[in-house]
C-alpha cells in the first residue's frame, strides 16, 4: 500500500469522491436488513450498490451528480438540491461522497422514511450531528467486524488492500423511536457471490 493510499486525500484532490463500495458490504446488508422492493441510490457512481440490489431482485432508481455509465441511471442530479424522492420510492441505500456525508444524511432522512448509508464509524461521534444521531430515528448501526476491502479512488490501479478505516451501515427509520441498536456484521461470508451485471431489473422512470 502506498503512502498516498494510506492517507486521506485532501478535498481538492478528491473531485466528486468516487470510491466504489465493495459488493460484499452490500450483500452483508441485504442479509441483515429488510429492504423494500423499490430503492433509490442517489449517488450511484458506476453502480456498485445498484448491481447488488438488482441481483437480489430489487428495482433501483440510480441517480448521481455525474454519469459514470451506471446502467439505468435516470439522470445527472445534485442530490443536495432535490426537494422530493422519485415516485414510489421510500428507501435510500447509498455510500455518499464523504466530504458531504452529513449533508447527504440530512437530505436523505428529509426525503425518505428509510435510509441506509455506508459511513465511517466515526460518523457516530461528534456533537454537531446531534439532530441526525439523537432524535431516536437512527434505528441501527451495523459495524463491520473486520475492515472492508479498501475503497480505492476512481482510476486506482495499484494493489488492493484492506481499508484503514472502520465502516458501518447506518439505518434511519422514521417510524423508529428510542435508542439505537448497535450490531456487528461480517462481510467475509459473502465474498464468492458475484452478481451478473447484464440481467439487471431496473426500475422504470
Ligand X SMILES: C[S@@+](CC[C@H](N)C(=O)[O-])C[C@H]1O[C@@H](n2cnc3c(N)ncnc32)[C@H](O)[C@@H]1O
What residues numbered 117-176 form the site for ligand X, per CB under 6 A?
Answer: none
Q: What is the DSSP letter of 39?
A: E
Residues 61, 85, 94, 180: which binds ligand X (CB under 6 A)?
Answer: 94
Residue 29 has a CB neighbour count (10 Å cut-off) of: 24
The answer to the question of residue 45 lying near ligand X (CB under 6 A) is yes
Q: Is 97 in the site for ligand X (CB under 6 A)?
A: yes
Closer CB to ligand X, 49 or 185, in the complex:
49
Tell me the C-alpha to C-alpha distance, in Å, between residue 181 and each of 106, 112, 171, 172.
Answer: 20, 20, 10, 11
Q: Is 64 in the site for ligand X (CB under 6 A)?
A: yes
User: How far are the Cα atoms of 2, 7, 123 from residue 100, in angstroms, in the given order?
Assistant: 26, 18, 12
Are 94 and 43 in contact by the 8 Å Cβ rule? The answer is: yes
* Residue 17 binds ligand X (CB under 6 A): yes
Query: Is 44 near ligand X (CB under 6 A)?
Result: yes
Is the distance from CB of 91 to CB of 38 less than 8 angstroms? yes
**Number of shown-chain residues binding ligand X (CB under 6 A):** 23
* Binding residues for ligand X (CB under 6 A): 16-21, 42-45, 48-49, 64-66, 78-80, 94-97, 100
Amino acid at each position: 500500500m502506498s503512502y498516498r493510499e494510506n492517507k486521506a486525500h485532501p478535498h481538492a484532490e478528491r473531485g466528486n469522491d468516487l470510491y466504489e463500495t465493495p459488493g460484499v458490504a452490500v450483500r452483508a446488508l441485504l442479509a441483515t436488513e429488510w429492504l423494500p422492493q423499490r430503492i433509490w441510490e442517489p449517488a450511484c457512481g458506476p453502480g456498485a450498490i445498484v448491481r447488488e440490489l438488482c441481483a437480489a431482485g430489487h428495482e433501483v432508481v440510480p441517480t448521481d451528480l455525474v454519469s459514470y455509465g451506471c446502467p439505468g441511471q435516470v439522470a445527472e442530479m445534485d442530490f443536495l438540491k432535490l426537494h422530493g424522492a422519485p415516485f414510489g420510492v421510500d428507501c435510500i441505500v447509498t455510500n455518499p461522497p464523504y466530504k458531504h456525508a452529513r449533508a447527504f444524511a440530512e437530505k436523505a432522512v428529509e426525503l425518505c422514511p428509510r435510509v441506509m448509508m455506508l459511513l465511517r464509524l466515526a460518523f457516530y461521534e461528534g456533537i454537531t450531528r446531534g439532530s441526525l444521531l439523537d432524535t431516536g430515528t437512527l434505528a441501527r448501526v451495523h459495524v463491520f467486524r473486520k475492515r472492508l476491502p479498501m475503497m480505492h479512488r476512481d482510476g486506482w490501479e495499484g494493489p488492493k488492500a484492506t481499508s484503514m478505516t472502520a465502516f458501518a451501515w447506518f439505518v434511519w427509520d422514521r417510524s423508529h423511536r428510542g435508542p439505537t441498536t448497535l450490531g456487528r456484521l461480517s462481510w467475509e461470508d459473502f465474498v464468492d457471490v458475484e452478481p451478473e451485471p447484464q440481467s439487471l431489473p431496473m426500475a422504470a422512470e
